Chain A
Amino acid sequence: MNVIELNGVGKTFRDFWLRPTVKAVDGLDLAVAQGEVFGLLGPNGSGKSTTIKMILGLLAPSAGTISLFGLPPRARAARARLGYLPELSYLHPFLTAKETLGYYAGLCNLPRAVAKARTAELLEMVGLSAVATRPVGGFSKGMARRLALASALIGRPELLILDEPTSGLDPVSTNEVKTLVKTLAAGGMTILLTSHLLADAEDVCDRFAIVNHGAKVAEGKVADMTTSLQDFFLAKVGEGRTFEVAPFLKG
């Protein structure tokens, strides 16, 4: 069964007068099966974030259909089964780490005892137990990132959507996140992630799709690759894209 399905999805942004300005996604077909780790890869501005936002129900597609667990993305039943880690952490700076997780537990309608236990469990897991009562506003980027990850997991989601999960993390934390993703996937969780760090994606993903200019240019299994994902990616979207440095140096 597919957890995520996109059929001919397109997104055109319009200006105030409803004139089309940018076609961010164009006729995208995608299917993510239950229990797999799927990498949505592409250069900056390729339409990855727009696609993620449409999957999350934050944006409505201009064309095509999207289903999450067979439901429209804005259905509460679908939202109850997913967790989301955005590219930046976007935490409420005046809340403590414990209160932050308590807030998201409340949004997931978790009973008080479950919320309390899970908060302690997740803070321990991401190594923030010692700073559980400190306001999040004083956290480093790495700490905030780990807390945001814990927030995404508080509802024990069946589908986890990670937008650049290792962004801003040091190599040790990056490795921890990769291990966490593998562990969660081994436990049956479906994971959709985007990343610029292709080596990281190669380490954790079962399958991937590469998008460029809003359209899918490649899709496959990591296990079937004969070259590195990095080389494959550059061959697909990076050809001819180099900075013209010579005139600058001459000048």
Chain B
Amino acid sequence: MKSFRAIFRLEFLALVRSRALLLLTLAAVGWMFAFPHLVTSDGTADGARELYVHYALGGAFALVLVSLAATAAGSLAKDRAAKRLQLTQVRPVRYSVLVLARALALVAAGALVLALAAAVLVLRSEPGRTCYHVLAPVMESPRAEAEKMFDFYMNDPETPDEVKKAPKATVLRLLTQRAWDNYQTVAAGETVAWAFNAPDVADGTRAVRLRFTNDFDTRADVRGSFRFGAWTGVVSNITRAVVIVPLEKAGDDAGMGVPGELAFSNQGANALMLRPRRDINLLYTSGTSGFAVNVLFAWLELVAMLAVVVAFALFLSAALGRSVAIFTTMAMLLVTEMSPSVIEQYPDSLETDAKDRIGLEITRFMEKVTSPFGSLAPLEHLANGECVEPGEAARALAVDGVLLPLLLALAAGVVLPRKQDGL
């Protein structure tokens, strides 16, 4: 424990005395203050908050993440090249402790800067504003739906031969992607219903969120009514891409809807196309905390993400030379950030040639490996007024903040003495 504290203190002092921490703080906090003066929103409070969270806090986080990942990637390698590392290695200290203490010092510095940036966000927002819990319809998983579809699809004469010759895993991936994007058509005058596992609470408010972020222009005319148990809401002539329809307690004479079921009656002139898995959510505020607490949970998740990236960069630093470790870390960060959009853009590898297919396979692999901790979900939640759920933050802390860094530190501890051998 004493050696852990000594190494932690050394690394933290290095950041303080080199003024790196001061510069990082000034840059991140300065960006938070400067952003509203540089960019104007659409004039609505929601639009301003979305922009501010996404680009101001997101920018501050990106700055902290990239700076500290680069510092971590250079950390052990730099000390090894300067031969200072050997003076620590010959002491009775576990190599994994050496890596872990350094990681914690870097994460503590990053957490501090992010806390200041988050504090600015809270001060400049509405601290008392409550967030929404978000529920998706209860549906079969896209994978299960794909598996059910598989035989039918492969025997369908209209399925291209190229697809029929493809490996089962590729076709299943394609069908899973389609299941996510399956459209449900609600004809004019028709009523449809989706089931939700909503908790049985009386307090708070309810709302329905519809997203129209698809290729079809269905935004022009949405008219209809929602009913969820005793709650009802009306939507009409909405032209926005995301519509939040508040639900209100209906009077006694209105009757009750089916419990746990959200019914929608399309009263517009046109059919409405929706992807239930992506576009429909039930929102409720019962038991939610204020904006400041929501930011705190988001901060915890971001710190956890920082921890896993820093630990990974330190692992690379233990195994590689400084410049190679920094380059690899930056490349990995870039691919992690880009892979989801690349995969979404090219969902079907069958449509590409062999060269692109290899690239796609690598990107898919990277996305699979990094998606559990590489998602910027907390920023998305904050920007959309959604709650960062405590359970989600606890999971991120346990897995990304503790478990993965521990495993990476152990692996780095094994690699570190071998790197000295020139292996």
Q: Which residues of A contact B (CB under 8 A)?
A: 13-14, 53, 56-60, 74, 76-77, 79-80, 82, 84, 86, 88, 90-92, 94-95, 99, 102-111, 151, 155
Contacts and interface: CB of A to CB of B under 8 A. Distances in A.
B278 to A, nearest CB: 49
Contact of A102 (B6, B87, B91, B420): B6
Interface of B: 1-3, 5-7, 9-10, 13-14, 17-18, 82-84, 86-94, 417-418, 420-422
Contacts of A76: 92-94
B91 A57 contact: no
B6 A82 contact: no
A52 to B, nearest CB: 10
Chain B contact residues, majority secondary structure: helix
B43 to A, nearest CB: 49
Contacts of B7: 106-107
A107 B93 contact: yes
Given A94-B17, A103-B10, A86 B87 contact: yes
A58 B6 contact: no
Contact of B417 (A57, A94, A108): A57
Nearest to B94: A76
The 4 closest A-B pairs by CB, nearest first: A106-B6, A80-B92, A107-B91, A94-B17
A77 B94 CA distance: 11
A106 B84 contact: no
Contacts of B5: 106
Nearest to B422: A13
A110 B417 contact: no
Given A84-B87, A84-B90, A86-B83, 10 more contacts: A59-B420, A91-B84, A92-B14, A94-B17, A104-B87, A106-B5, A106-B9, A107-B3, A108-B92, A109-B92
A95 B10 contact: yes
A95 B93 CA distance: 20
A155 B87 CA distance: 13
A155 to B, nearest CB: 7
Looking at A88, A103, A151, which has the most chain B CB atoms within 10 Å of its CB? A103
B6 A107 contact: yes
A105 B6 CA distance: 8
Contacts of A151: 87
15 contacts: A13-B422, A56-B86, A58-B89, A58-B90, A86-B83, A88-B83, A90-B86, A90-B87, A92-B84, A94-B13, A94-B14, A106-B5, A106-B9, A108-B3, A109-B2
A134 B422 CA distance: 36
